[in-house]
Structure 1
Amino acid sequence: MSTGGQKPLPFIANFAAGAIAGISEILTFYPLDVVKTRMQLERGKAQYGLVGSFRAIIAQEGFGRLYRGLVPPLLLEAPKRAVKFAANDFWGKTYLGMAGQTKMTQELSILTGCSAGATESFVVVPFELVKIKLQDKSSTYAGPMAVVKHIIKKDGLLGLYAGMESTFWRHVWWNGGYFGSIHQVRALLPKAETPQATLFNNFVSGSIGGFVGTVLNTPFDVVKSRIQGAEKIPGVIPKYNWTYPALVTILREEGAMALYKGFVPKVLRLAPGGGVLLLVVEFTLTVFRKALGPPYL
């Protein structure tokens, strides 16, 4: 994340900045994630749109249902976003060194983002699985630990990693689009001359990055939700098992639009959410730089 002649901040600074940003984003946008998951779990033609889904959940299940499953992602957001930005910083430095360059390019930025997403995916799978199980309309689990106990009892510890492959692809595509877009948009925006302009540029580039990442990864997110939302039946091969064959199945049976179920609430969360993430990360890193003083400034 450092530029110019700044000494790179230590790993813990990038880790902490990502953690603070992640918690800020999840507390702000979580209800949209609940609605997105509900829409993705629907089979066939969508019954409700964005507003209809909100109304249906509140009318039928109460307002609190919009925050059901919050604990797993809230516990996850700190390590998840911390790993995202720390891994992006690590892979960025690694690839710059391998390429013998001192300045990030568009190609290296995309490669760095994809690598950060792959790294992040290994952390998030159990939390995502628990969240999906709790967000499902038919869910009868008392809470996160009830889901964990049920999965371990039925499928063992490895059962907590159901959907690992689809989660891997979801994060690879989102992070590649997110960080790659941020690099390009920053290059196109006017140079920031004031702190306010810097904040604005970070929010704009992060929001556009969030939009591009969402466009790229929504089909993979739909598949992930289907895989993790299904109950395994002994002796029966799951309908949705591997990512790319599942994409073909959904496309064939439900049409191309089904691959973008939940896109509206997802993009309404992750476009501004991406802006909030980058805004908070860069603000927090600036605080660290000022606290550490030269040569980090």
Structure 2
Amino acid sequence: MDEPDYESLPPNAGLSVNMCAGALAGISEHAVMFPIDSIKTRMQVFATSPVAVYSGIGNAFTRISSTEGMRALWRGVWSVVLGAGPAHAVHFGTLEAVKEIMGGNEAGNQWLATSVAGASATTAADALMNPFDVIKQRMQVHQSEFRSVFTCARTVFHNEGLAAFYVSYPTTLAISIPFNSIQVTIYEQLKRVLNPSHKYSPSTHILAGAGAGAVAAALTTPLDVAKTMLQTRGTSLDPEIRNVSGMKEAFGIIWRKEGLKGFGRGLTPRVLTTMPSTALCWLSYEFFKAAIRTD
């Protein structure tokens, strides 16, 4: 059989194809990069014990693996596996639908359409993913009491109520909307520059995805530090952090404790996580989208 012509495939493959490809891409992205994400979470937590304070990625990896075992770096992975599939299905389904409606698949620089599509996609996806993200981070912190996703969810709900799963949602949107608007816009522009012929090119998806992810991750790290504080507040021994109720309060605590430096906590692992994960996500998405609709 002849290999399908990537250029002949329609820009919008249909909602079911986009959602299925997005789900597979999301699971691939999060599962592969999960250990680095665990290190990022630990570095962002304002720990009271010096044992839980890490000077860098290498230091964190060595200490965690030697004192807790390598499995500790994968603790909570099932939370993102369970959440990432449906959330990314919603994300990419919304992304392609809005982009198509706004003319983002037409020739030329459609930065407004791609930005709005990215913002719309993340608003819908984060509403579904936020509780899973809270569970994941509760399981990632130093000396976490949880080993089961369902036990963690049940305990958090019993002790803190439903609000605990969504206290960080406004902050998550404050991160995700600019992150995805920046990421999708840069990705589309880099893809046009690197692959003007629009032929199927895995290297283009990797390079464009990595570049877009790096820029978006670096610019939104301060918000990510605040989000981590809100999502892990129930594990903190610091009364001020334990009772933090919103993004503004979190920013105030970060500023008082460490000043400007505090907003850069976890910058390196965040960028190092996001670059390959975004590259993998776009590569997987473009591959699965092409594969599914040409079977």
1:88 aligns with 2:91: no
Is residue 118–residue 168 contact of structure 1 (8 Å, CA) maintained in 2?
A: yes
Separation in structure 1 between the aligned mates of residue 111 and residue 11 of structure 2, nearest angstrom: 22
**In structure 2, what is the equivalent of residue 224 of structure 1?**
227
1:189 aligns with 2:182: no
What SS does structure 2 have at the residue aligned with 1:170?
helix
**Unaligned stretches of 5+ residues in structure 1:** 292-297
**In structure 1, what is the equivalent of residue 3 of structure 2?**
none
**Unaligned stretches of 5+ residues in structure 2:** 1-5
Q: Give the direction of change, closer, same or farther, for the CA distance of 1:62–1:93 in structure 2 (3 Å limit).
A: same
**In structure 1, what is the equivalent of residue 167 of structure 2?**
162
Q: Deviations over 1:196-223 (max 9, x none)?
A: xx11111111111111220122111111
Q: CA deviation at 1:7?
A: 6.6
Separation in structure 2 between the aligned mates of residue 141 and residue 16 of structure 1, nearest angstrom: 31
Separation in structure 2 between the aligned mates of residue 227 and residue 3 of structure 1, nearest angstrom: 45
**In structure 2, what is the equivalent of residue 295 of structure 1?**
none
Q: Give the direction of change, closer, same or farther, for the CA distance of 1:209–1:81 in structure 2 (3 Å limit).
A: same
Separation in structure 1 between the aligned mates of residue 248 and residue 117 of structure 2, nearest angstrom: 23
Q: CA deviation at 1:265?
A: 1.4
Q: CA deviation at 1:134?
A: 0.6
Q: Give the direction of change, closer, same or farther, for the CA distance of 1:118–1:7 in structure 2 (3 Å limit).
A: closer
What SS does structure 2 have at the residue aligned with 1:255?
helix
Q: CA deviation at 1:43?
A: 4.9
Separation in structure 1 between the aligned mates of residue 165 and residue 100 of structure 2, nearest angstrom: 32
What are the within-5 Å matches in structure 2 for residues 23-172 of structure 1? 23-43=27-47, 47-96=54-103, 102-103=106-107, 105-172=110-177
RMSD: 2.6
Q: CA deviation at 1:102?
A: 4.0
Identity of aligned residues (%): 24
Q: CA deviation at 1:247?
A: 2.5
Separation in structure 2 between the aligned mates of residue 75 and residue 261 of structure 1, nearest angstrom: 27
Separation in structure 1 between the aligned mates of residue 150 and residue 15 of structure 2, nearest angstrom: 31
Q: TM-score, normalised by structure 2?
A: 0.87
Is residue 83–residue 129 contact of structure 2 (8 Å, CA) maintained in 1?
A: yes
Separation in structure 2 between the aligned mates of residue 114 and residue 161 of structure 1, nearest angstrom: 19
What are the within-5 Å matches in structure 2 for residues 10-29 of structure 1? 10-29=14-33
Separation in structure 2 between the aligned mates of residue 108 and residue 8 of structure 1, nearest angstrom: 14
Given residue 73 of structure 1, which amino acid in structure 2 is its aligned partner? Answer: V
Q: CA deviation at 1:188?
A: 2.2
Separation in structure 2 between the aligned mates of residue 208 and residue 136 of structure 1, nearest angstrom: 29
Separation in structure 2 between the aligned mates of residue 79 and residue 40 of structure 1, nearest angstrom: 27
Q: Give the direction of change, closer, same or farther, for the CA distance of 1:3–1:213 in structure 2 (3 Å limit).
A: farther
Deviates more, 1:280-289 or 1:10-19: 280-289
Is residue 118–residue 169 contact of structure 1 (8 Å, CA) maintained in 2?
A: no
Number of residue pairs aligned between Structure 1 and Structure 2:
283
**In structure 2, what is the equivalent of residue 204 of structure 1?**
207
Q: Give the direction of change, closer, same or farther, for the CA distance of 1:255–1:7 in structure 2 (3 Å limit).
A: closer
Given residue 168 of structure 1, which amino acid in structure 2 is its aligned partner? Answer: L
Given residue 262 of structure 1, which amino acid in structure 2 is its aligned partner? Answer: G
What SS does structure 2 have at the residue aligned with 1:115?
helix
Q: CA deviation at 1:192?
A: 4.4
Is residue 166–residue 223 contact of structure 1 (8 Å, CA) maintained in 2?
A: yes
